[in-house]
Structure 1
Amino acid sequence: MINKISKTYFLFFIIFIIPNQFLSQIKIDWKLDSKMENANISIYNEGKEDIAIPLDQKSLQPYYSDNYNISETDWLDNYPFFGLTLNIFDNVDKKNIETHLSSPNFDASKFDNLKRKTDSIKKEINLKINSWKIKNNINDLSKAKINYYVMNNLLLLKTKEKIEFSIPFNLWNIINEYNGQLQGMYMLDKKKKNTSFLSINIHKNIYAFITEKQKRKLKNYKFFTGKIESNKINLQ
């Protein structure tokens, strides 16, 4: 009977305590500037292990139920798949604010110039991806695109290391970039008080897009999996 209790306690410790220790190893804090135009973010590795985590530091992204479920079929160029998710909670109705989609707003008279610019950027990206594909011995172009994005947004945090960065805060176009796709936005009732926080949820399957050679170069780092939520702030 004692052995059975001991085994049960040990199993509980393995399932619940150890993962919670790992998930709490990374801490995210954020605040908005006085004009509410930029989110100032800090990422801190509180634990004793060096951590590698995919994190896009150039843009936030709106909340969708399938955030971070990365696949080749759903891949969109120039979308911040590993940007921190901006979550907004309605304190009155006690529910999350829904993400709305809208068409990008731009001056139609500037369409030709915009198209030339986007085509030029797309061409440059394709050249980089093809070069990356050959350099890293990746056979499939779709896999090469994801591999390129993951490796170029892989944040390496030594134990007790802290980094700080700033990202544009724009509720009308959360990724704050025109990429030819529908834009995610939040429509807030100014009469209500809303709470907001950032989150990221990394699934282990994303590391399947990293080559074995790349993993060996990162052997001293622990690949992060799990969900992190930041501190909460009030939006008024």
Structure 2
Amino acid sequence: MRSLRRHTERHRTERIGWLRAAVLGANDGLVSTASLVVGVAAAGATHANILVTGVAGLVAGAMSMAAGEYVSVHSQADTEKADLSRERAELEKDPLSEQHELAAIYVGRGLEPDLARQVAVQLMAHDAVGAHARDELGISAVHAARPVQAALASAASFAVGALLPLAVTAVTPGPRLIPWVAGTSLGFLALLGGIAARVGGAGILAGAWRVGFWGALAMGITAGVGAMFGAVV
């Protein structure tokens, strides 16, 4: 009997965990820092104060992103562990019912009942918990929650995104600061959106337009608030 030749493929869903955290972090770092810089500049702050505010926003934002992502993803991981523990207990208590449950899932996906039972028996003999985790609970190694990885990716990507408008701020003092920071930040956002869309397999123009629109809106509102409070002060 000839052995089956394994066909290896790489899918974009394998990237979804780190890609989501990285894109969210970089986008948030760029938008929040650029908006912060533009808002403080519109309020009439000195160039040194604008830079200090931007750096403080970078540090605080990176830590906030890391903590928030860690807590969020860790909660997901805790839920997955609890579900898997419950599944192991059910398999030990009544494996036959669990086999029928798995077979019913395969019937619902289009297999004949007899074939579904054979598949359920063989998969449970190989890895019962893995089969139920994947097909009953929807938990797989590709989509498993990784809190530390998500937290580090979010913090690092936030810092990278925030450094871009800060670098422009550092070399562009005076009245040209606001248009330069806003313009370059929108360009960076469009590039980021396009790259993220390309990696994820979506339309590049649509991805660039989405992040560019919301970034422009955030900077416009923050600049208005800064100008209003600066005039009051």
Q: TM-score, normalised by structure 1?
A: 0.20
The structure with the greater share of residues assigned to strand is: 1
The structure with the greater share of residues assigned to helix is: 2
Larger radius of gyration: 2
Q: TM-score, normalised by structure 2?
A: 0.21
Q: RCO greater where, 1 or 2, for CA within 8 Å and sep 6 or more?
A: 2
